[in-house]
């Protein structure tokens, strides 16, 4: 029997794998804080954070910006709407799209969540120390220069 030989491959040095694992680990680290204190999930955090950053946007906008499946964005948005943190309305320029916005209750929640996020950002910067600026530049190139 002729076995095909696999090329030498070190998964531990494969950048797409490492970036995905690092991103997941960082998300989970931050999620421990806001899940315990505020009872929200990672998808809910991402929707809230995007709305706090960008203002009123559609589910499609969030899906594209945060690289999350539409169904996850929609489920998170529904849970956040039920909790009174966001409001949904029909987009004036495209009636097929739902527009999401923070409610006063959602803004109050973000006023508590954003300091946690900023503190976590400071922790990451401290952990990366002198390599942080280069890391950020590399992430920027991966995110924005392929477009």
Distances (CA, A) of 72 to 59, 78, 120, 141: 10, 10, 24, 27
Q: Are 99 and 88 in contact (CB under 8 A)?
A: yes
Residues 70 and 92: their CA atoms lie apart, in Å, by 20
Q: Tokens in use for 104? A: 């006063």
Q: Of all residues in the chain, what percent are helix, strand and coil, respectively (each to 5)? A: 70, 10, 20
Residues 30 and 8: their CA atoms lie apart, in Å, by 35
Q: Which domains does the chain have, with CATH numbers?
A: 13-121 (1.10.10.10)
Closest CA to 28 of 52, 50, 45, 53: 45
**The model's pTM:** 0.85
Three-class SS state of 101? strand
- Per-residue pLDDT tens, the chain, 147 aa: give them: 557 889 999 999 999 999 999 999 999 999 998 999 999 999 999 999 999 999 888 888 888 888 888 899 999 999 999 999 999 988 777 777 788 999 999 999 999 999 999 999 999 999 999 999 999 999 999 888 765
């Amino acid at each position: 029997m002729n076995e095909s030989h696999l090329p030498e491959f070190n998964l531990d040095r494969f950048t797409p794998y490492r970036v995905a694992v690092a991103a997941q680990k960082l998300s989970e680290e931050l999620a421990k804080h806001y899940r315990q204190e505020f009872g929200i999930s990672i998808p809910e955090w991402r929707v809230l954070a995007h709305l706090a950053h960008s203002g009123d946007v559609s589910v499609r906008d969030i899906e594209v910006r945060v690289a999350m499946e539409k169904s996850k964005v929609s489920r998170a948005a529904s849970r956040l709407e039920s909790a009174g943190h966001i409001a949904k309305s029909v987009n004036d320029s495209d009636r097929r799209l739902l527009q999401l916005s923070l409610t006063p209750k959602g803004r109050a929640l973000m006023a508590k969540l954003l300091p946690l996020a900023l503190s976590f950002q400071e922790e990451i910067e401290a952990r990366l120390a002198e390599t942080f600026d280069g890391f950020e530049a590399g992430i920027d190139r991966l995110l924005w220069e392929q477009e």
